[in-house]
Amino acid sequence: MKKLVKENDEEKERLNGDIACLLAEKEKDKVDKDVMLNRMSQIETMLTAMVRR
């Protein structure tokens, strides 16, 4: 019984670690997306200024 509880706790810890990694990756992807959208906006602004000249 104790062995089963210990294995269950170890599995929970492993899964919590996996979840933490996935959440960190999701946050990094969100930051990367925000950076890309910001850069695209800057490029659009530069191109609009060039076309107006």
- How many domains are contained in the chain? 1
Domain of 40, in residue numbers: 1-53
The SS3 assignment for 53 reads: coil
Taking only the tens place, the pLDDT of each residue in 20-37 is: 999 999 999 999 999 999
Distance CA 14, CA 22 (A): 12
Cα–Cα distances in angstroms (integers) from residue 27 to residues 19, 24, 32, 42, in the given order: 12, 5, 9, 23
Taking only the tens place, the pLDDT of each residue in 4-14 is: 888 999 999 99
pLDDT at residue 49 greater than cutoff 90: yes
